Each structure stands twice: as structure tokens, then as C-alpha cells.
Structure 1
């Protein structure tokens, strides 16, 4: 899927850690990753992060409207997917997920796992629409919810 006009994919540099941490707080509240974790994640060679940003402007870090990451390897893991509240419903989550899955496939993934809130049918529909299936439950994974563990076999992905 192509992105709406005025938006583009970007590979966040380590200097984006503060902006991503702030974005994460707006998206996930108390379940957001702390700044220090974003610093570590952006420096890691075992994972890839992608942002959807608003084009234009002159800031060193453009406006982030969505962000996600995937840990690489034979058993890859979608680490995070978030879309700004005001941008939801435009297909950005699906476009971001598709890009993350392509990176996982290119990184040799045979299976991709993720956790999603057990009470988030919208996110679950996004993932199941891409071929993910529920394989487990992690009680108390989030501060206020359980996590549904989902798996996608790359051999079965369309």
C-alpha cells in the first residue's frame, strides 16, 4: 500500500530517541518504552525501526505519525506498532506492518510473533488480516490487560 500524500517512510536515526519516546507515551501511556530503551533499540543491529513521517518542515526530526519495529532472525518479533490517534483509520498501521513484515522476511524470518492487548479488537483484526493467528495468552503483560500472543508463518503469508 502506498502512503497518503504528504507522508513517507523514514528510518529513525539514534537522534530520534527522544521524539520516539514522546510519541510512544502519547500512543501507549504508562506502557510506553522509556527514553533509555529507545536509545538502546535504535542502536541495536538485531532490530529495524520504521517511522511514517509528515513530509516538509525543517526540523532535524520530522513529525512522526506512526512508528514500528521488528526484531530480526528466524523467529522475528514485531516489537511495536503505533499510529498517532488523529491519524488512525487511514491505513497507516497496515502500511507500517507490511513494511515491517517485508524487513523481517528480508532478514530471514520463518515465523513472526507479536503481543497485542487481549481487549483490542481493532489491532487484532489488523494482525489477523495479515495472516497472524493466536497461539497463546500472557496474563498481566500490560499494566491493565493481558496480551494475546500471535504468530505468522512466513511460508503461509500472502
Structure 2
């Protein structure tokens, strides 16, 4: 399957918010939060992944960069499209953006019960540096991971 990445624009936010509810039902960001995030281009960049054959949204991701620290805000890929390099491509683009903006390190939180995402981050060079107990609304811990650029 081929896919393309592009910047997430304000008119894309409703579709992304719907996908967010599907992917993260317990911790979904509300539409207003996405609108606020996408509007802050001086410190943030959000991407969309689109299936070229189906012409539909299959993933999205975002990074926030403030001074020397970047934070991966979110990465989501539709379950039927996982394992095809979409998450890796989006993460690679966000890391390039962090470097471009002068970040020295990148942080993220990932659910302790999400080994697929943990593996993606570990293979990219992130290290598990801390655990936030009961971070998510359903009581699941979050791993804090860091990559030194």
C-alpha cells in the first residue's frame, strides 16, 4: 500500500477528531483541542497520512517544539493499516522537524500496554526513562521515553 504525508490543515481537523475517537476512545482529544493545537504553528506541526489507493485518512501525528525540547504529541494509525511503515514515516518526519527547530531531545508518553508503539519508539532510539503511574483515564501507566538528537 502506498501512502503520502502532508501537513494537517484546519479543514482536516473534524476528520482527525473522528479518527481520534476511534483510535483512542478513552483518552480522545476533543475537537477544540485539535483546533488549538493545529493553530499553533510557531511551536507545533501536525501531519496526515493518506492512502493513495483509497484516498482516505489513515493516520496522523504531531510534535511540539519549545526551545531545546520536542514532544511527540500524538501518533495514530488505523488498525487495518498498522505494520505498513506509516507510523515510522510520520515519526521520522516529526523527528526531522524537531531537529530543524533546534531541539536537542524528544520526549513522548506511550501506554504501558501498547507494545507495538513501544517497539516503534525503541527501534527509533527512544529509551524508557520513567513510568507515570495511572496516567491514562482508564488507569493504565504511561512510559515516558526520550531520544537525544
Task: State the TM-score bracket (shorter-chain normalisation).
Answer: over 0.9
- Give a deviation string over 1:28-61, Cα, whole Å, max 9, x none: 112110001011011012110011112378xxxx
Alignment of 1:1-158 (within 5 A): 4-5=1-2, 7-45=3-41, 46-55=43-52, 63-73=56-66, 74-144=68-138, 145-154=140-149
TM-align CA RMSD: 1.4
- Partner of 2:102: helix, strand, or coil? coil
- Partner of 1:71: helix, strand, or coil? strand
> TM-score, normalising length from structure 2?
0.93
The separation in 2 between residues aligned to 1:13 and 1:93, in whole angstroms, is 19
Aligned length: 146
The separation in 1 between residues aligned to 2:18 and 2:113, in whole angstroms, is 24
The separation in 1 between residues aligned to 2:113 and 2:26, in whole angstroms, is 17
Q: Which stretches in structure 2 are left out of the alignment for 5+ residues?
A: none
The separation in 1 between residues aligned to 2:17 and 2:56, in whole angstroms, is 13
> TM-score, normalising length from structure 1?
0.88
